[in-house]
Every structure is written in C-alpha cells, then in structure tokens.
C-alpha cells in the first residue's frame, strides 16, 4: 500500500512539473523571422556601412531575455500605461521624482512603465531597435523594496536624485546578475561582479534595468563594418529611421534606448567618439568626461589611456545627475582622481547667461554646415561672444598604435582579473582571433581586420610612450591655441567630428541636439572644454538647451 502511495506521489509531482514546463513553453513572446527582405532593402544604401549582412542575432533568443519578467509586465494594463505616459515620457528626473513624492507614481510603476515600452517595441519585429539584450530579472522586486522603504519614511532621508531611477548599461560594463559580453560570442557566458561605477550607482539607489547592445568590442573589431552591430546582439537600428540612418557607435544601444524612452538614462563608454557619435545620431545628450573623472575598473577595455564611461540622457539636467551618481575615487584605476567635483550635480539647475559666455566657432564648419552656421548666429543673437577661428594643423600619427597596444595588454588584464576561466575560454586577442575564425560566418561576418591589426602592430613600449606624450600635447594645442588666445570657455564642434583630438587631449566633450537635416537625420552641437570643466560645460549646455530646445522624439516611438 505504501509503495502504491509513493508511486502516486511521484506521478502527481511529475505531472505537475510537466504542466509547469508546458506553461513555460507556451509563453513565446518573440519569434525569429526571415530578415532577408530587410537586408536586401539595404543592399544599395548610399552608406556602405549600412549595407547589412544580417539584422537579428544568430545566437540570442529574445525569449530568454523577456520571458522572466513577462508575468510582471503583463499585469500592467494599457489604460494604466497611458495614464502614466504624460508623467514619465520625456520628463526629467526631478519631474518624475516629484510625481513619486506626491503619490502619483511609485518606483514599481516607473519600472513597469519602461518595461512595458521595451516589450511593446522590442518584441515587434517591425519596430525593434535590437537594443535590449539583457534585463535585470529582479528589478521589479527591487523597485517594490524602494516603495516599502518610502512608505516607512526611509526614502525621505537625504538621497541622490538618481535614487529609484531605472538605468540601462552598455554591455561592456560589468554587472552582477547579467552577462557582460562586449557584444562578442567569446564573452557570451561572462558572469562578473559589479564594476566600480555600477557599485556607485547602486549605492546611490539607482535601479539597473538591463543591458543594451553595442558595436562589438566597442567598434574595435572589424574595419568599415556597420556601427551598432555585434555578433551577440545583432544590428542595432536608429529610431529616427530604421535602416535609414546609422545609430552611431559604439554606445549604439545606449543612444537608441534613451531616444526611444526605454529608461530614464543610459551609460555609455568612449575611447574616441563612442558616446558623442551615438548621442548625436539619436538626438540625445551625451557627455564624454575627462579621463579619470569616472572609474574604468570592470569595463571591457580598448585603451587604459583613453577609455571612459559617461552619461547619455534626454536632457542636460539628467546628464549632470547621472554623471555625479557615478563619481568616486577608485584606487584600482591608476587614472582615477580624488575630488568631489562640486557643482556637477547642480549644473543642470544653474545655466550660465549667454552674456557671460565666450565660445569658439570653427571656420571650416561655418562654411560647410548650414545648421551649425545658423546655430552660431542664434548664439550671437542670444548674447554669447563668438570667436571664429581655424585650429592649427597637428599630427595625429600613432593614434591607432595606442589602441592596438593598449587593447592587446588591457584586454588580457581584464580577462585575467575580472572573468571566470571556466566561463570565458579566451585569454588574449590572439585567442579571440582563433575563436572567431572557427566559425567566421556567425562570429565575424564582417571580418576582424582591426583585431588582426592589433597582432601585427610592432610598436615598442618606448615608442608607445612617446606617441602618447606627443598626441596629448598635439591634441591640447589643437584646442588651446584659440582657447588661450581668446579666453574661450569652450570650442563648438558637430557630433563627434573632433572626438579624436579631444580623446588624446583627455578633454571633456558634451553633445546636445542641434536639429535635424532635411532627411530627418539628427545632428548635434558639441561643446569641448579643458580638463575637469564638466560642470561649466553642463551649465553652458543647459542655457543652450533651454533657449534652443531642438530635441524631438522619434515619431514612431511616441505612444
């Protein structure tokens, strides 16, 4: 009798388990599709980098990303979402915080609102931007915990404004509980601890919503290939024109996600143009900080000389908030500086009068770009002092060698110190090249010319140090010649046009939407200042944004 009873229990448990598995299998949120028509539609694109070979990833199943939170998201009704829309969409952090303070929103509502938008657009193959490649499965419960603290009055204590705000991270930034892939199949199982800046974000109460796609290996793998492409995440697309305009790179997912209002803000990284470019292409505000202002520990590297993370937001005010939320001296990062950087957090609240600004306009851009030219005239009329100048010609010889030799050394150190050898099988660039060649159609459809270039670069340690010194000097001459002579607060550029000079000079650059070309492609005004002038750049940028608000939401992502 006892044996029969045990057998019955086993049968019932097995049936229950099978039923649960069947239910789980029933939740198919996304189906792979044939992207050949889209690929064929771009075969004659005037921009060779947009002649895609594929759109969707060959290795990432979106159901693995979206199923864990489906039950939570499905509880939010369309009516509830619509009610929250005017309170959250395009609103700055202080407005959202006030809604929470007044009881019109909760942190849980806020998280579910963004998740709802992500599910709505990213699971539809006609609107997907291929931006979200990981979600924090615990984020809703984490938001509920903040609400519980709020009810107890704990949240009423002094907080950083980033508290409770959902943030997306570029997928080269180490984050506990989510893989950090750098877009590469070689790192697709890379489980890590939090990077220093993620620790700082969490310490200040930010909610990590998920990870976004990027140009693979921060766009230092293939030559002339599409920006926004990674073998792990597929091809990221621009919300202002899917398959029409480039996303910019390498922080492609950060730019597209912020533009589409998938989160309050996102974090990107830059070596030379990788925050400025996607921010400009997606009409969002991006800041590439001074090297050393933010820690780089726990970020998949290109160059320890030039790399930095930075904030990407819908407005200047949020940019200052996110930047300050990542501050902190990191003894494990040799470039990290010990300073409180007073004035950054409040910079978005204190615009500088135009009458107090002295800005440099580059003559060549005045002669070749009508939107830039009109913007300069607008600034003059507003009261700013504008000095037109021609930067001196300076040599940029050896720039590629900095990237080559640094990445050869820095990636090896990252893998050794930050990854689990049981999960990550490569140990060097040489290993990665061999790994990619083993399945080139899937792993490197656009080749790996830059990786191969890393292996063939014979620059010595002595030569590299000389290159670094010369380039830093030349980069500063490029800007300082006019800045010192005319006592300029900043130099005005377009998009990432002068990102390389700012990179080697280790100068900060802030890019803000300037308008749209006749085609509808976004274009931005970029403010470049001297080291650690972030607070001043943000205050100048806030004045510009307030008086010439140019950002318009992408029309297909407004509901």
Q: What amino acid positions are annotated as catalytic residues?
A: 170, 250, 274
Quote the CA–CA distance of 181 and 323 in Å, as a whole number: 24
Radius of gyration from C-alpha coordinates of the chain: 24
Quote the CA–CA distance of 505 and 502 in Å, as a whole number: 5
Quote the CA–CA distance of 101 and 287 in Å, as a whole number: 29
State the DSSP code for 4. H
Q: What distances in angstroms separate CA 279 from CA 316, 361, 496, one per listed residue?
A: 12, 21, 9
The CB-side HSE value for 546 (13 A sphere, CA atoms) comes to 15
Pairing mode, strands 234-235 and 229-230: antiparallel
Helices (H) and strands (E) in the chain, counts: 22, 13
| Strand, helix or coil for residue 87 | helix
150 alpha-carbon distance from chain centroid = 30
Quote the CA–CA distance of 239 and 128 in Å, as a whole number: 9
Q: What distances in angstroms separate CA 411 from CA 68, 266, 501, one per listed residue?
A: 32, 24, 24
374 alpha-carbon distance from chain centroid = 29
| Strand, helix or coil for residue 69 | helix
Residues 6+ apart with CB under 8 A from 242: 127, 129
Q: What distances in angstroms separate CA 323 from CA 226, 346, 384, 506, 552, one per listed residue?
A: 29, 11, 26, 17, 23
CB atoms within 10 A of CB 515: 17
Q: What distances in angstroms separate CA 81 from CA 107, 112, 166, 432, one per listed residue?
A: 14, 9, 16, 44
- Residue 42 near residue 52, CB atoms below 8 Å: yes
Quote the CA–CA distance of 527 and 537 in Å, as a whole number: 7
Concatenated DSSP letters of 453-492? HHHH----HHHHHHHHHHHHHHHHHHHHHHHHHHT-SEEE
CA dihedral (13, 16, 22, 26) positive or negative: negative
Quote the CA–CA distance of 247 and 224 in Å, as a whole number: 14
- Residue 522 near residue 280, CB atoms below 8 Å: yes
């Amino acid at each position: 009798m006892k044996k029969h009873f045990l057998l019955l229990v086993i049968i019932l448990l097995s049936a229950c388990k099978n039923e649960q598995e069947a239910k789980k299998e029933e939740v198919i949120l996304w189906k792979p599709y044939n992207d050949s028509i889209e690929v064929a539609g771009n075969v004659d694109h005037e921009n060779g980098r947009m002649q895609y070979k594929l759109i969707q990833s060959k290795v990432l199943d979106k159901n693995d990303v979206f199923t864990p939170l489906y039950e939570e998201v499905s509880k939010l009704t369309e009516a509830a979402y619509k009610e929250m829309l005017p309170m959250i969409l395009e609103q700055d952090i202080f407005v959202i915080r006030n809604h929470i303070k007044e009881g019109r929103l909760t942190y849980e509502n806020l998280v579910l609102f963004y998740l709802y938008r992500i599910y709505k657009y990213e699971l539809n193959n006609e609107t997907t931007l291929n931006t979200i490649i990981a979600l924090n499965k615990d984020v809703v419960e984490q938001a509920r915990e903040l609400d519980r603290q709020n009810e107890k009055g704990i949240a009423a204590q002094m907080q950083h404004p980033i508290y409770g705000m959902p943030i997306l991270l570029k997928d080269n930034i180490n984050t506990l509980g989510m893989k950090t892939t750098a877009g590469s199949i070689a790192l697709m199982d890379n489980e890590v601890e939090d990077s220093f800046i993620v620790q700082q974000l969490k310490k200040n109460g930010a909610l990590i919503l998920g990870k976004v796609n990027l140009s693979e290996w921060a766009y230092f793998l293939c030559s002339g290939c599409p920006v926004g492409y990674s073998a792990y995440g597929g091809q990221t697309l621009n919300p202002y024109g899917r398959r029409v305009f480039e996303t910019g790179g390498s922080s492609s997912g950060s730019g597209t996600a912020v533009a589409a209002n998938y989160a309050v803000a996102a974090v990107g990284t830059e070596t030379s143009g990788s925050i400025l470019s996607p921010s400009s292409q997606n009409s969002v505000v991006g800041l590439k900080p001074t090297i050393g202002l933010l820690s780089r520990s726990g970020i998949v590297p290109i160059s320890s000389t030039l790399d930095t993370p930075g904030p990407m937001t819908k407005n200047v005010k949020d940019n200052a908030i996110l930047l300050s939320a990542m501050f902190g001296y990191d003894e494990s990062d040799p470039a990290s500086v010990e300073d409180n950087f007073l004035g950054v957090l409040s910079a978005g609240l204190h615009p500088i009068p135009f009458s107090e600004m002295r800005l440099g306009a580059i003559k060549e851009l005045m002669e070749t770009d009508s939107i830039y030219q009109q913007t300069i005239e607008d600034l003059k009329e507003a009261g700013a002092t504008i000095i037109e100048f021609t930067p001196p010609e300076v040599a940029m010889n050896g720039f590629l060698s900095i990237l080559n030799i640094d990445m050869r050394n820095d990636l090896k150190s990252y893998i050794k110190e930050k990854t689990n050898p049981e999960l990550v099988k490569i140990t060097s660039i040489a290993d990665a090249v061999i790994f990619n060649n083993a399945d080139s159609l899937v792993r490197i459809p656009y080749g790996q010319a830059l990786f191969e270039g890393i292996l063939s670069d014979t620059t010595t340690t002595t030569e590299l140090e000389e290159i670094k010194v010369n380039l830093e000097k030349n980069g500063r001459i490029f800007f300082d010649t006019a800045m010192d002579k005319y006592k300029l607060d900043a130099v005005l550029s377009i998009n990432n046009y002068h990102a390389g000079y700012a990179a080697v000079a280790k100068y900060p650059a802030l890019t803000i939407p300037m308008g749209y070309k006749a085609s509808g492609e976004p274009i931005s005004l970029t403010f470049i200042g001297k080291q650690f002038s972030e607070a001043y750049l943000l205050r100048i940028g806030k004045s510009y944004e307030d008086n010439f608000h140019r950002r318009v939401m992408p029309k297909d992502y407004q509901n």
